[in-house]
Chains A and B, each alone.
Chain A
C-alpha cells in the first residue's frame, strides 16, 4: 500500500506511474484478445507472433542508430512486424495444416534471430534483455499514448465483430456456412492479437508476454458462461495483476516483468485448485 502511494505521488517515480498506467490501459485489450486466444486455442500461434516481433524492434533500433531514422520508434517497428507475422502465421495455419507445427516454429525462431542480429549490429549498445524480459524504464509517454490508441482500436473492433467472433471461435465451419467470412476474420483476430502483444512488450518483454495474454483470460474462463464475461473478467484480472506486480516489484526491488508473470501463474494455479475443491 505504501509503495502504491509512493508510486502515485512521488515526483521522482514518474516512470513507475507510466508503467502502472500502461499496464492498466493495456489490460483491456489483453483480457479481450486473450479470451479469444484461449477460447480459439491459438496460444502457440500468438507466441510465434510475439517472438517474431523482435525482428521489427531490432530493425527499428538499427535504423534509428545507423541511418538516423529517428521517426522509426521500436513500437512502430514491432507493430508492423507483428502484423506481418500474424498474416504469415495465419496463412501457414490455414494452408499447411500438416506442417503447421514446424513452420510456425520456424517463424518463431527466425523472427527472433533477425531481431537479435540487428541489435548486435546496431552501432550503439543495446541490451536485448530489456526487450526479451521487459524494462519499465523504457516506457515513455509516447508509449502510453500509442498503447491507449491501440487499446481503443482493439476494443472497438471486438465490440463490432463480437457475434461473428464467437461463432468463429466455437464452430468455424458453421460460421462460414452462415455467410461469416471466416478467413479474413481469423486473420483479423491474429492481427489484433499481434497489436495487443506489442502493447505490453515494453513491460513484460517478448518472452513473457504470452503468459500475461493467456493467464488472466484462463482464470476468468473458470467463472464465465459467455465469452464477453470472460473478456471483461480477464481485463479486470489483468489490471489487478499488472498493478499489484508493478507495485510489489518496486517495493521488493525485483524485476517487474518476471514478477508480474509469477503472480499471474500463482493466481491461476490457486484459482484452479480452489475451483476443483469447490466442485
Chain B
C-alpha cells in the first residue's frame, strides 16, 4: 500500500559536526514509487542523510518525518544496510543468524519462532546465499557478506529500504539485477540507496538525490555532466563517456 503522504519529508534540515557543516537547509520530499539514488562527493553528506532518516543522528535545525512519523518511531518499517560493518572478524555467528537479526523486534527473546525460518530462507534465496546458511559469517568473502547484509535488511519486508553503497563489493551477476531482485522480493518497498557508481545509478533508477551540503532531487535523465561537475567539482579522475547520464554508464 503506497503511503498517502511523502515517504520522507525533510523541512529546512541543517547539521554540522563541530565546525564542519554537513547539510544546509535540506528541504525536500521523497514520494512513494520508483527507487531513488543518493549521489554526491565523499564527505558530501550522503551517509549522514541516511543516518538522519534512521534517526541515528538528530539535526541541529529543522524536522524530519519518515513514513509520516519521527524517524525513531519508524524503525520497525525500515530495512537498513550500512556501508561498513565494524565487527570482530572471529565473531561466532552463522549467516542464518545474521539474516535473522533483521527480524528482531522490541521484546525479542531467545525463543526462535519456527515461522521465522521460512522468512530467513526466502531472503537468503533472493540474494543467492541459500546454501551458505550454516556457514560462519566471518568465513565469507566481501561480496558474500554484502549479500548477507542485504538479506538482513530485507528479511522483515520493510516499507522503506535504505542501502548505503550496496554495490561496493557485489559481483556483476547480482549488481546488474539488484533492484529487480529486491522489488521481486517485496514490490511495495521504497528503495533509497547511496551509490558512487554512476553507471549503476543511470541504468537502475529514475530519480537521483544530489547531496553536497545542499540537497536537490532530479529525474535521472536530467542529470547532465554540468550538474555532475557542479556536484563533484572538477576532478581529473572522473571520466564521462557520454553527455547524458540517462543513456550511458559513467565511471569516476
Contacts and interface: CB of A to CB of B under 8 A. Distances in A.
Contacts, number: 81
A106 B105 CA distance: 37
Interface residues of B, number: 32
Contacts of A177: 54, 56, 75, 78, 80
Given A163-B108, A177-B78, A180-B104, A171 B92 contact: no
Given A159-B110, A160-B109, A166 B97 contact: yes
A220 to B, nearest CB: 9
A225 B75 CA distance: 29
Interface string A178-210: 111100000000000000000000000000000
Contacts of A226: 92-94, 97
Contact of A170 (B82, B98, B134): B98
A226 B134 CA distance: 10
B104 A175 contact: yes
A162 B107 CA distance: 12
Interface string B102-117: 1111111110100000
A155 to B, nearest CB: 12
A166 B94 CA distance: 11
A10 interface: no
Nearest to A167: B101
B94 A41 contact: no
Q: Helix, strand, loop or mixed for chain B's interface? A: loop
A162 B110 CA distance: 5
Interface of B: 54, 56, 75-76, 78, 80, 82, 85, 87-88, 90-94, 97-98, 100-110, 112, 134, 136, 152
Interface of A: 39, 41, 159-164, 166-167, 169-171, 173-175, 177-181, 221, 224-227, 229-230
28 contacts: A160-B109, A161-B109, A163-B100, A163-B110, A163-B112, A164-B108, A164-B109, A166-B97, A169-B91, A170-B87, A170-B98, A171-B101, A174-B101, A175-B104, A177-B75, A178-B75, A178-B101, A178-B104, A178-B108, A179-B76, A179-B107, A180-B104, A180-B106, A221-B92, A225-B134, A226-B93, A226-B97, A227-B93
